[in-house]
Structure 1
Amino acid sequence: MTSIFDQYEQASQSSQRTKPVTEPMVSSGYINMLMEDNTPMFSKSKMMLKNLSDAITHAAVCNDYLVLAMANGNLFRLNLKKPDRGEEIQYSKFVQPNSKLTGIFLDPLGHHLLMAFTSKKKDGYPELIYLHQSSSKYKLVSKSRNYEVTEVGWNWENTSEVNTGPILLGTSQGHIIETELEADSDKTFTASHPYWREIFDIGKGTDMPITGIQFHRVNNTSRYFIFITTPTRLYQFMGQAVMKDNKPSLQSLFYSYLTIPETGFQEIPSTLKYSKLQFFDKNDVPKTFAWLTEPGIFYGQLDPTSQQNSNSLFTQGALISYPTDGDEPENAPLSFVLTEFHVLLMYSDRVKVISLISQELVFEDRYSEAQGKLKNIVRDAKKRTIWAITDKCVFRYKVVREERNLWIIYSDKEQFDLAKEYCYNNPAYIDVINVKQAELLFNKGEYEKSAAIFADTQKSFETICLKFLEIDQINALKVYLEKRLETLKEDEKTLISMLVIWMTELYLSQLGLLRRTGKQDTEEYHQIQSNFEVFLLHPKVAKCMQHVKSVVYDLMASHGDKLNLIKLTIINEDYESVVAQYISKKSYLEAIDTLKTLKRPELFYQFAATLMEESPKHTVNALISQGARLSPSKLLPAFLSCKNDEAHVSEIIRYLEFILQHFNVRDKAIHNYLLTLYVEHDHEALMMYLSRQGQDVTMVNYDVHYALRLCREKNLSEACVKLSALLGLWDSAVELALQVSLTLAKSIADMPEQTELRRQLWLNIAENVITKNQDMQEAMTFLEECPLIKIEDILPFFSDVITIDHFRQPICDSLQENNNQIEEMKAEMEEAIAAAEYVRAEIQSFRNRSVTVLVSDVCCLCDIALLLRPFYLFPCGHKFHSDCLMQETLPILTPARRNKLSDLQRQLSVLSNIELSTVTSSGLPLREILRNEIDDLIASECIFCGEYMINCIDKPFINDEDWEKVMKEWE
């Protein structure tokens, strides 16, 4: 059953809970989330300690290790993970009589404890006692007798359990001592310290007790910074430390401060004889610090890297005043604890919590006489727990989401970005902040920024729109509408359509007003026009336009805005309407430019006829710019419908020539149309075109018969000659060429590949020319130009009155040539007779020739005895088994001979003996004929001595497949 005292304590704590959120919900209200966290931010629980022998005077907690000093001279130690195993050790008998305990200092690991004593008598001396966690024997730090230690700066990087690492000690005279303590054998009564050196003196002979020391490394470098406090001053030191065995020697850090005046400190006047210094670290890196002074808590953000540009190691330093007690100002607290966002102030009978952001009291916890007077409040930096110690009890404070109300504080301070950061994506909180920020901007006259933030709130749409309309802020209204449009989902088609039409009307109204006042060339007009174009290209707007474009078209037409109407039709891909509208206004160049930008071939085909009729040059330029995207055959109807004047025809020819030259078009209709234009308008270009097409009728791209008919109708003789020759009408081509020029006729006569045809064509030319002119010199020229014609061929063409004397020399030359040919034929006949006689002699000698085959002879291919199987014996002496020779010869036979060999072998294997013994008309059995044909195929020559061996000169002796085998044999 809960005692009356416990009930009072719970009521006392709950009465000081953080005030709930009272921000008005000014949005539309469909966000329904819990606005208040009912869990107490700070709550206290009492630790049940047994067998404490006397009142508590001093306390320290680190790494879940609790140390309490009591008035009877005992020290109580407890591992908080094992709360039932506490122990008491007497310390009073280890120090001189009349000594007073002034402070206990526990390292961050909880292993090393220092106890500072001062003497109550003038002839006494101060002492410093060391106690290790695993030991129950106190050890005196011998060199500390001349120094009254008031503060210890622990090494936060130390991980050793047997020594403290380098530490700093502060004394009542302002001395800074660097030392290192080790937990040596329990047999000695003196604590081991490898070195003890005074490295700095703040007091300089005066009573200036050190009340706080903190030192830390900067970003894993050899640079260190040190904060030291006295009752009235905060000192900052920074420099390079000498590293040895990964341990710093901080003495070198103070060298640069020995020769300069003491100016690097923050001074706050105080009548107190004490002060406190605490750091708050995040991820083992110190982030903030707080210094307890008489006027208040001096608080700041740590930034050691900033000393490169200034003399201070912290930023945003501010003095936080203590809360008032009624109407009277509160005295300075006895101690305090620093958290991330709050500071806990300890008085003798209460604990107050102040927000570091708002500097307001957020929690107060009073202690009754039964609980005792508060002695200390400490924070376990390792375990992040907070402990309050009275002279009778130990209490633990639990901190739950201390940042929960920061969004309200930052919002009140108009730091809205920080406020949203600490909302943790709570939409209700964010909406409240956005409304407050938007209202603030609206009141400051920053309407467009206000509209952009209003769009992210749930405040009434109508209210906000009227808010901007009442002060005629159309630009801000457009910003609001556009942002709201972005937040709408695609299935909200009605709302999207409403916003699109409204925003279009706003843009058109602004543009229309500027045009009516003659400001269409101003920067304002161009900016609105640019924004309007961007708006029309928005994906949601473009999609919505497919459903409401008729309404928007009417809206633009009512404003007389034809420019934007055309742009909108382009965006909606109503290209036909755009071009048709330009043509109806006779703006042919604009229509052509539109077609060029659209790159829609079907529109070119549709409007090419009209544009070619009105502006042929620009239209052809546009067609050329499209290149291969257009099909020339689909443009033919537009070309055929054009006027047949010089301007139109020349442009059509220019386009067709461009297409043929750059894209190798082979469409016969295109070539026939171009040829028609050449025939009718440009005969020189026609001849060049025919020459480029060549003289191969299968390779030309036009209809030759159609071209010949056109040329005959226009009496283009030279073209008809070329076309007739192309069709193989040589006689008619030569006959027609003679009407044009003799040179043309001669060139035609030289074209045919057949010798007899060329001779006949030359005779036709000679007959025509000689019969007409009877010119002896011209006849001689024919004989020189064409070696196919002889003098006897052209003699019949001369009249009877011409005497032979005129042809004496050509006739003699002809007779001499005939005589030479007769002599050459006689010599060839004699050689043939001699060769025949030699062949007959050779055949006769082979009939009487024989070769002896020995039993020891082997096949030249397989090295097996020759007589074991049928074989072939060549005159050169090489011998081969028939199957070996066939296997070797088969790969080198042509496919036809290989197929024939297979057929002969098949016949020998398939036909019966009776069929093979049948005597054929040649007098030989069928078997013998088949074998002879096989012999002709595979044994026509020796494979070692014939052409096969010559052809195989580049063949390697060893194949790739046998190379490894041969290499192994050679090894």
Structure 2
Amino acid sequence: MTSIFDQKENASQISRSAVPVSEQMTSSGYINMQLEDNTPMFSKQRMNFNPSDLITHVAVSSDYLVLAMANGRLFRLDLKMPDQHEEIQFSKHVQPSSKLTSLFLDPLGHHLLLAFSARSKDGNPELVYLHRKSTKLKSVSKSRNFEVTEVGWNYENKSLTSSGPILLGTSQGHILETELDAESDRMFAASQQYWRQIFDIGKGTDTPITGIQFHRVNKTSKYFVFVTTPTRLYQFIGNAMFTDDKPSLQSIFHSYLTTPETGFQEIPSTLKYSKLQFYCDKSNSPKTFAWLTEPGIFYGQLDPASQQNSNSLFTQSELINYPPNKDNSNETTPLAFVLTEFHALLMYTDRVKAICLLNHDLVYEERFSEVHGKLKNIVKDPLRRSIWAVTDKAVLRYKVVREERNVWRIYCDMGLFDLAKLYCQNNPAYVDIVNVKQADLLFSKGDYEKSAEVFADTQRSFETVCLMFLEVDRIDALKIYLLRRLDALNDDDKTLISMIVIWMTELFLSQLGSLRRTGKDDSQEYHELQSDFEVFLLQPKVVQCMQHVKSVVYDLMSSHGDKQNLIKLTNINEDYENVVAQHIYRKSYNDALEMLQSLKKPDLFYQFAPVLMEETPKNTINALISQGAKLSPTRLLPAFLSCQNDDAHSAEITRYLEFMLHNFNVKDKAIHNYLLTLYVEHDTDALMRYLVRQGQDIAMVNYDVHYALRLCREKSLSKACVNLSALLGLWEAALELALEVDPALAKTVAAMPEDQALQKRLWLAVAENIINKNQDIKEAMGLLRECALINIEDILPFFSDVTTIDHFSEPICQTLEEYNNQLEELQAEMDDATESAEYVRKEIQSFRERCVLVSVTDTCNLCELALLLRPFYLFPCSHCFHSDCLLQEILPLLASGRRNKVAELQRQLGVLPSSELNAVTASGLSLREVITNELDDIAAAECLYCGEHMIASIDQPFIAEADWEKLVKEWE
């Protein structure tokens, strides 16, 4: 689309573009580099088409270009199809005395208005309408008395045939509302749905309207209207009336008809023209506006949604002066301009300039040579946002490349750091420059804590920042900086993390120590500082770092005398051994026990129990008892065994072991053996109570009986030895020892065995011992009453031959009476047995004479065929089955061994020759009969329906799982 001449000019333009100066980096974290590229922000490109005559006017919307030429023709071009254009003669449709003043194209690019003024006083102004799909120009008849100077298009209109409600501004200051329709039956006049005058800015004077735009506020019924004259900017806001989803804009001006003239901005000017431009975001909502006047561009931010009772719809307005001309040209005021997001492009007769709206700097200037011709206008496509400059000979398109590239720097210089970061485009070098500048500014203002937060996000030297806060003695700010830097560090930066953790700990300890020394350890400041310190210690990075530097931190806390935080830190690090060892080293045993109890770490009890038991047994045992089942007595045995074997230590150990046995039912054999040893050494009464509690079931006792017996024998504890021997089943030895100690104990031992023969033998030994000692007949008779297993005849041999029988008459008679009772019981049992045998013989005889009749019509209960067709079985319960049917049914119910046996017997019947099967065996039967009898014993052992097979299969379903689906289909 560009000519060779334009390509050469563009190349030279790029080469002449000043290379942006790279800003000196203020941080050491980035390489010093050029921050900007060399691509020009604004560059032009000439379109490769030549109109038939000089260009006078231009309009562009939605990539649709319309040019008016001096020969009275219109040049129309769809920029999407640059090879197809058309020209239309418009001069013959208007009076010769009319002069074309303006072209107005709606945002959709379908509705074009041509405004004409009268060349003489006798002529009338005209307004001509042309639709994009038509080549016939139509006159707007009702505009005869109005010279239209501006058109306010409806940006919400989506119709391609109707313009929707629009506003027209005239040279007399009238504001008209109308709607144009392309689908009109009139041949030479455009259809106007309505035409009404709704306001008069001039109040009867000729005040030309130079700009008019209206927009809707956030999809509500509220609209605002901006109208400009050469010296004034008017603002109107109000609610529109809707009919068929179309607004009636007349209602917006109702409240302004009866009020004094207010709501305008006045700037004196000698010019007869001014320009109004809006910048809209991607949703086509206006964000900023600019008004070109003689002194400069009046620029402001739009916020109509927040407008309440204020007379102004804009905020942060300012007057931007025009940049001076370097060649001392007298032309100071632009002829036209367009507005972008951050810049305004100013058009003069021979040049185009671009100024930044933020800092008012001139960022672009280019002179046009005579080859291009004189500049006529510069316009912007409202929807496509393309910018077009038109000379009388050419059309040029301006390309805007990253106009926001320096916005971050401008906002930074203005102190708007949040906006600066927003436009840094995620470039870390830019963000760092902004942060450093913001932090320095905050530091200079004395806002040290906020400055520390921002410094932490920069690459400024760590040492430099720390020295800055130390020089002004701002420890709190320094801590904020260190914390933020700590959060930003990677886990691999172990050295720097360790340094910050140790430094932060020292800072906290120093501040806490200072408050304690001044008596403020109960103040709110102290508690808040302590809380911050605890939160710091709980941070994951700090906890992880403490594993490497804990010795240094412990020394710091010890040097500050901060025992409380030292304990808390050991809790966090689970490093309790160090503090407990220090307490023991200082002989603060109670403190060590208190810490062990508070830490709830059983392993530490096991580690320090030997020393603590040796030094303070009672308090140690109290601490162990307080832990209950949290501690294992077995793991404490080494500590107990290492203690002195005196009464004080033994009593405390015994107290602990008894507590564990009684309350937690400890069954560990080592514990019981050790407790039994203590009993043997120091308390024999407790030993006997312990043995009694353990019982006489050797499978239930928790101690080693052999070990206990050996200890008791070494200490000559006879009673204990008797119990232990009896527990081991050494009844004779236990009885012998018991007889030496106490006859009553011997009787107790004799009554223990469950075997009556053994019990009788033991009682006889007791009786023999008693009788041999004193021949006391009464005592011997008492033994007979105590034990029912021995009789008078059992103990008579133990008496001497000189003992008379008179003393034994009563027990002898009693014994004889018992024998007589036994003989009578035996006789009754023999009679019952004889009767039972006779009954059985009669039953057997009756079975021999029993028979069952089989009818020809009887059938097999399994296959329901005639029973007599094949060999069959007949059971006493009247059930009958064919032999093969019964065998087939009974096989799945048999055990695997019996099934194999049946298969083997059937194989023999089928394989062996007849000679072998008919051979007589030792039993007198043939081999065939023997095999058949074995099969009968297996198959016909019991009835299939009445025997144990039916009971065993009670949990089996009636229908097999494999046949279930088939049965369901049959039922369906």
TM-score by length of 1: 0.79
Q: Is the 8 A contact 2:224 2:304 kept in 1?
A: no
* 2:190 matched residue in structure 1: 191
CA distance in 2 between counterparts of 1:639 and 1:761 reads 43
CA distance in 1 between counterparts of 2:520 and 2:96 reads 99
Q: What amino acid sits opposite 1:385 in the alignment? A: S
Displacement of 1:32 = 3.1
Aligned counterpart for 1:838 among listed residues 835, 839, 842:
842
CA distance in 2 between counterparts of 1:728 and 1:905 reads 59
| 1:133 has 2:137 as partner | no
**Structural mapping, 1:750-899, within 5 Å:** 821=825, 825=829, 828-845=832-849, 859-863=860-864, 870-893=871-894
User: What stretches of structure 2 of length at least 5 have no aligned partner?
Assistant: none
Distance 1:823 1:2, change over 3 A: closer
Cα-to-partner distance string for 1:247-288 (whole Å, 9 max, x where unaligned): 443459739847995798353344465543333223224251
| 1:44 has 2:48 as partner | no
CA distance in 1 between counterparts of 2:319 and 2:624 reads 79
CA distance in 2 between counterparts of 1:570 and 1:583 reads 18
Aligned counterpart for 1:268 among listed residues 256, 266, 269:
266
Distance 1:345 1:969, change over 3 A: closer
Distance 1:852 1:145, change over 3 A: same
Cα-to-partner distance string for 1:760-817 (whole Å, 9 max, x where unaligned): 99999999999999699999998xxx9x889999999999667989999x99997997
* 1:254 matched residue in structure 2: 252
Q: What amino acid sits opposite 2:881 in the alignment? A: F
Cα-to-partner distance string for 1:276-331 (whole Å, 9 max, x where unaligned): 33332232242512131535434344445434797765544444344456899996
**Structural mapping, 1:25-64, within 5 Å:** 25-28=25-28, 31-56=31-56, 58-64=57-63
* 2:91 matched residue in structure 1: 92
Distance 1:461 1:868, change over 3 A: same
**Structural mapping, 1:170-209, within 5 Å:** 170-171=169-170, 177-184=176-183, 188-196=187-195
Displacement of 1:129 = 2.0
In structure 2, the residue corresponding to 1:181 is in which secondary structure? Answer: strand
CA distance in 2 between counterparts of 1:237 and 1:945 reads 105
CA distance in 1 between counterparts of 2:581 and 2:26 reads 54
* 2:278 matched residue in structure 1: 279
* 1:409 matched residue in structure 2: 410
Distance 1:961 1:511, change over 3 A: closer
Segment drifting more, 170-179 vs 65-74: 170-179
In structure 1, the residue corresponding to 2:433 is in which secondary structure? Answer: helix
**Structural mapping, 1:577-588, within 5 Å:** 577-588=578-589
CA distance in 1 between counterparts of 2:204 and 2:806 reads 159
* 2:237 matched residue in structure 1: 237
Displacement of 1:173 = 6.1
Q: What amino acid sits opposite 1:889 in the alignment? A: I
Segment drifting more, 945-954 vs 371-380: 945-954
Displacement of 1:384 = 1.7
CA distance in 1 between counterparts of 2:585 and 2:321 reads 82
Cα-to-partner distance string for 1:642-665 (whole Å, 9 max, x where unaligned): 466888667656765776688775
Q: Is the 8 A contact 1:671 1:701 kept in 2?
A: yes
| 1:635 has 2:639 as partner | no
Distance 1:853 1:548, change over 3 A: same
Q: Is the 8 A contact 2:236 2:253 kept in 1?
A: no
CA distance in 2 between counterparts of 1:678 and 1:467 reads 75
| 1:446 has 2:447 as partner | yes
CA distance in 1 between counterparts of 2:330 and 2:528 reads 60
Q: Is the 8 A contact 1:885 1:938 kept in 2?
A: yes
* 1:292 matched residue in structure 2: 291
Cα-to-partner distance string for 1:105-159 (whole Å, 9 max, x where unaligned): 1112212112233445667655432111121111233444465544333333444
Q: What amino acid sits opposite 2:136 in the alignment? A: K
In structure 1, the residue corresponding to 2:380 is in which secondary structure? Answer: strand
Q: What amino acid sits opposite 1:230 in the alignment? A: T
Distance 1:773 1:488, change over 3 A: same
| 1:110 has 2:109 as partner | yes
Q: Is the 8 A contact 1:74 1:92 kept in 2?
A: yes
Displacement of 1:339 = 0.7
Distance 1:685 1:916, change over 3 A: farther
Distance 1:555 1:745, change over 3 A: same
Q: Is the 8 A contact 1:12 1:366 kept in 2?
A: no
Cα-to-partner distance string for 1:70-107 (whole Å, 9 max, x where unaligned): 44533222233444544332223323453343432111
Distance 1:778 1:951, change over 3 A: farther
CA distance in 1 between counterparts of 2:5 and 2:943 reads 131
Displacement of 1:469 = 4.6
Segment drifting more, 521-530 vs 83-92: 521-530
Displacement of 1:34 = 1.6
Segment drifting more, 670-679 vs 288-297: 670-679
Displacement of 1:636 = 0.9
User: What stretches of structure 1 of length at least 5 have no aligned partner?
Assistant: none
In structure 1, the residue corresponding to 2:191 is in which secondary structure? Answer: coil
Displacement of 1:584 = 0.3
CA distance in 1 between counterparts of 2:273 and 2:551 reads 83
Cα-to-partner distance string for 1:918-967 (whole Å, 9 max, x where unaligned): 97776666765565454333312222344544665676544444344445
Segment drifting more, 955-964 vs 326-335: 326-335
CA distance in 1 between counterparts of 2:623 and 2:257 reads 85
Q: What amino acid sits opposite 1:289 in the alignment? A: T
Displacement of 1:488 = 6.4
* 1:338 matched residue in structure 2: 339
Segment drifting more, 687-696 vs 77-86: 687-696
Q: Is the 8 A contact 1:388 1:397 kept in 2?
A: yes
Q: What amino acid sits opposite 2:53 in the alignment? A: S
Distance 1:966 1:51, change over 3 A: closer
Displacement of 1:669 = 1.3
Q: What amino acid sits opposite 1:228 in the alignment? A: F
Displacement of 1:31 = 0.8
* 2:100 matched residue in structure 1: 101
Q: How many residues are aligned here?
A: 957
Root mean square deviation of aligned Cα: 5.6
CA distance in 2 between counterparts of 1:380 and 1:194 reads 27
Displacement of 1:637 = 0.9
**Structural mapping, 1:691-730, within 5 Å:** 697-706=698-707
CA distance in 1 between counterparts of 2:891 and 2:520 reads 97
Q: What amino acid sits opposite 1:254 in the alignment? A: I
CA distance in 1 between counterparts of 2:159 and 2:911 reads 104
* 2:66 matched residue in structure 1: 67
Q: What amino acid sits opposite 1:234 in the alignment? A: Y
Segment drifting more, 607-616 vs 61-70: 607-616
CA distance in 1 between counterparts of 2:948 and 2:549 reads 89
Distance 1:173 1:807, change over 3 A: farther
Q: Is the 8 A contact 2:750 2:763 kept in 1?
A: no
CA distance in 2 between counterparts of 1:705 and 1:617 reads 32
Q: Is the 8 A contact 2:238 2:253 kept in 1?
A: no
TM-score by length of 2: 0.79
In structure 2, the residue corresponding to 1:87 is in which secondary structure? Answer: strand
Cα-to-partner distance string for 1:694-747 (whole Å, 9 max, x where unaligned): 775435443344456678899999988987776567899999999999999899
CA distance in 2 between counterparts of 1:873 and 1:4 reads 126
Distance 1:807 1:379, change over 3 A: farther
Segment drifting more, 159-168 vs 103-112: 159-168
Displacement of 1:829 = 3.0
Q: Is the 8 A contact 2:289 2:302 kept in 1?
A: no
Segment drifting more, 132-141 vs 826-835: 826-835
Segment drifting more, 286-295 vs 402-411: 286-295
In structure 1, the residue corresponding to 2:699 is in which secondary structure? Answer: coil
In structure 1, the residue corresponding to 2:190 is in which secondary structure? Answer: coil
